[in-house]
Amino acid sequence: MEHIKLERTLVLLKPDAVDRGLVGEILHRFERVGLKMAGLKLVLAEKSHAEQHYTEDLAVRRGQHVRDMMIAMLTEGPVIALCLEGIDSVEIVRKMVGGTEPKSAVPGTIRGDYSHMSFKHSDEKKIGIYNLIHASSSASEAEQEIAVWFKEGELVDHTPTYTKKTIPV
């Protein structure tokens, strides 16, 4: 019998999601699809922590001003750091989260249902785009990001009862 490899991914519920009281609703969506939590914590991110998350690579790809805005937004208030595990979890979570620009995110996605800001508005106001959530874009990025938010021993390795019956691990 072939063993299925479970993949881990990082999700951050940004300060705007926490401030709006959407944490439970968003967590419920991930649980409902069958992803399991391997780690969950509330964090007040210091600037240095946010800089570890939004690396210099972001400045190269999107510009230093974008990186600076994202760091500022991540340090505005509490963040929920969440490590989820499941089959193809990175891909599943990205699909559930929706496009980066809330205005363009498809209804039924987290951003499509709970946010509406456009890149144009954000650019005109010279503010970051409030899009509620961060999700790792690849398995390798997830591994790096999980290490930024969770220390050795903080993730829980467990097999939910329903999984034992449906997924050979």
Per-residue DSSP letter, 77: S
Q: Is 134 among the residues known to form the active site? A: yes
**How many angstroms separate the CA atoms of 49 and 36, rounded?**
25
- Name the active-site residue from 3, 53, 134, 158: 134
State the alpha helices, DSSP H only, in 33-138. 47-53, 56-62, 64-74, 89-97, 110-114, 119-125
| Closest listed residue to residue 97, CA positions, set 8, 14, 4, 1 | 14
Contact 158, 8 (CB under 8 A): no
The set of residues, in sequence order, having a beta carbon less than 8 Å from that of 35 and lying 6+ positions away, is 84, 85, 86, 89, 92, 93
Q: 56 is written with which tokens?
A: 């210099």
Separation in Å, CA 131 to CA 53, 105, 135, 166: 17, 10, 11, 34
Residues known to be catalytic = 134
